Chain A
Amino acid sequence: MPNLSTRWLKKSPWVYHVGTGGCNNCDIEILDCLTPRFDVERFGIKLVVSPRHADVLLVSGPVAYHIKPRLQEVYKQVPKPCVVACIGACACSMGIFKDAYSVAGPVDKVIKEIDPNAIFVYVPGCPPKPETMIMALVKALQKI
């Protein structure tokens, strides 16, 4: 990780959503964070549409073989410092897809292949609650 100050990153983490073969359940919960009930914009969290603008990658789903190079490419496109948030049981530990023939591995293993120093935050649950995701992001940003 480049030696840059991360003082303001805590105040405005912009998130980019990557789906890596999940069942869409976590994706719907991620969208819930943006609704009036949870309103993550209170904390400066904003959903952006280009990985070049992102500070946090929200990855949901076990990493299928065909999406593995794409996920690595997206990770390379994000300007550092950045955080990878593994949303849901599948992204954290492959969940029910463990030992499946079509799955390349959990998100952290796939990303550590190209950047061993990447920062991860794990949000288990199937799907995790929106409150859990917000709390995980806040904790992760306190750490870096």
Chain B
Amino acid sequence: MENLVLYLLAFLVFPGFLFTSTFGLVVSWIDRKVSARIQWRVGPPFFQPFYDLFKLWQKELIIPRSAKGMAFIIAPFIGLAATSLLASIIGIINLNPEYQFVGDVIVIVYLMMIPPLAIIWGGFSSGNPLAALGANREIKLMMGYELPFILAVVTVFFKVGSISLGEIIQYQQVHGALLNHPSMLVAFAVSLLWLQAKLGEIPFDISEAECEIMEGPFIEYSGPLLGVYKVMMAMLHVVCPWFLISIFWGGTSMQGWGILWSVLKFVFIIVLVIIIKNTNPRVRIDQAVKFFWGWVTLLALIAMVLMFLGY
């Protein structure tokens, strides 16, 4: 019984929903502010993402006549729940690497596919042709980026000799971060490209291309449901870099200077994503899939070969 309360707290408050969403909204402020500075503008105030969210919460909720009602409403919540669960699993294992179960990285990789699936489901059920087009592209993009990423994660499995996140973090605490190995550096580069596509940032924001198909799957969402999607995307901006830090960069720690160091790692990855986003044009979906199945998969294979050669 006590365990259940602790699990619920972990899911809803500390590494889970409340913490990650607040942090994620701060990250989305960093995103907008850094983008504004790159474009020589001033940018929004610190609480802007919170204002946006509160405002969306107070707006009218419109469910289009063409939408399949239930799916349209529950899709964002499924995405949100999956992201909270991800945050709580990654957070708990980072706090206490002993607290693990076999194959939790595989569970995490699976759970990470649910937010895009929720977007796809919501897009298709909204009954809008542009939303269907966006959802269609999201499926293709997902097929593209998951292959090299899973190869990169498997490289880590072989290097450490374990498929649990806790053991990967403990290994790095003993032997130093995996990034010190050249093979892992290549795998990390593959994962950064994956991150860009996963977060729907600009070279790969094909599914929600604003001026082309008008935010794609989100086009029919209004008010609170749009807010749920915004929170989900903000949380993904925290969870995905956190996972990469955990498997490649020694994880995060909550003691003394470790906090500052963890935040710096995190900000480094996020600012890298923002800079890539602000200096690149959008690619087409066929180019993106070719890129991921061609060059990036090749890079992931090179990482694996280097790892087997012992680098």
Contacting residue for A49 out of B41, B61, B211, CB 8 A: B211
Residues on B with C-beta less than 8 A from A55 are 55, 59
Question: B155: shortest Cβ distance to chain A, in Å?
Answer: 39
Contacting residue for B62 out of A39, A42, A77, CB 8 A: A77
Interface residues of A in 16-72 (CB under 8 A from B): 36, 39, 41-42, 44, 48-50, 52-53, 55
B226 in the interface, Cβ–Cβ < 8 Å? yes
- Closest residue of chain A to B52, judged by CB? A12
A103 in the interface, Cβ–Cβ < 8 Å? no
A102 in the interface, Cβ–Cβ < 8 Å? no
Residues on A with C-beta less than 8 A from B40 are 36
Residues on A with C-beta less than 8 A from B51 are 8, 11-12, 44
**Is the CB–CB distance between B55 and A11 below 8 Å?**
yes
B95 in the interface, Cβ–Cβ < 8 Å? no
In the complex with contacts A36-B41, A79-B60, A50-B55 CB distance below 8 A: no
A9 in the interface, Cβ–Cβ < 8 Å? yes
For the complex, give the distance between the alpha carbons of A112 and B43 in Å. 36
A5 in the interface, Cβ–Cβ < 8 Å? yes
**Is the CB–CB distance between B36 and A39 below 8 Å?**
yes
**Is the CB–CB distance between B44 and A44 below 8 Å?**
yes
For the complex, give the distance between the alpha carbons of A50 and B208 in Å. 11
Query: Mask for B219-250, Cβ within 8 A of A = 1, else 0?
Result: 11111001000000000000000000000000
A4 in the interface, Cβ–Cβ < 8 Å? yes
Residues on B with C-beta less than 8 A from A77 are 62
**Is the CB–CB distance between A49 and B44 below 8 Å?**
no
**Is the CB–CB distance between B44 and A42 below 8 Å?**
yes
B104 in the interface, Cβ–Cβ < 8 Å? no
Residues on B with C-beta less than 8 A from A11 are 47-48, 51, 54-55
For the complex, give the distance between the alpha carbons of A12 and B32 in Å. 14
**Is the CB–CB distance between A39 and B219 below 8 Å?**
no
- Closest residue of chain A to B54, judged by CB? A8
A6 in the interface, Cβ–Cβ < 8 Å? yes
Interface residues of B in 9-64 (CB under 8 A from A): 32, 36, 39-45, 47-48, 51-52, 54-55, 57-62
**Is the CB–CB distance between A79 and B39 below 8 Å?**
no
The residue in A12, A42, A52, A79 that gathers the most chain B C-beta atoms within 10 A of its C-beta is A52
**Is the CB–CB distance between B222 and A52 below 8 Å?**
yes
In the complex with contacts A36-B39, A42-B44, A50-B214, A9-B55 CB distance below 8 A: yes
**Is the CB–CB distance between A50 and B215 below 8 Å?**
yes
In the complex with contacts A36-B40, A42-B42, A9-B58 CB distance below 8 A: yes
Residues on B with C-beta less than 8 A from A5 are 58
B286 in the interface, Cβ–Cβ < 8 Å? no
For the complex, give the distance between the alpha carbons of A55 and B58 in Å. 11
**Is the CB–CB distance between A42 and B59 below 8 Å?**
no
Contacting residue for B43 out of A7, A8, A42, CB 8 A: A42
B210 in the interface, Cβ–Cβ < 8 Å? yes
Residues on A with C-beta less than 8 A from B47 are 11
For the complex, give the distance between the alpha carbons of A79 and B62 in Å. 7
**Is the CB–CB distance between B44 and A41 below 8 Å?**
yes
A129 in the interface, Cβ–Cβ < 8 Å? no
In the complex with contacts A50-B218, A53-B226, A42-B58 CB distance below 8 A: no
For the complex, give the distance between the alpha carbons of A7 and B215 in Å. 26
Question: A57: shortest Cβ distance to chain B, in Å?
Answer: 14
Chain A to chain B contacts (Cβ below 8 Å), 17 pairs: A4-B59, A5-B58, A12-B55, A36-B41, A39-B41, A41-B32, A41-B41, A42-B41, A44-B48, A48-B215, A49-B211, A52-B62, A52-B221, A53-B226, A55-B59, A77-B62, A79-B62
List chain A positions with a Cβ less than 8 A from chain B: 2, 4-9, 11-12, 14, 36, 39, 41-42, 44, 48-50, 52-53, 55, 77, 79-81
The 10 closest A-B pairs by CB, nearest first: A11-B51, A79-B60, A8-B55, A52-B222, A8-B54, A39-B41, A49-B214, A79-B222, A12-B52, A36-B40
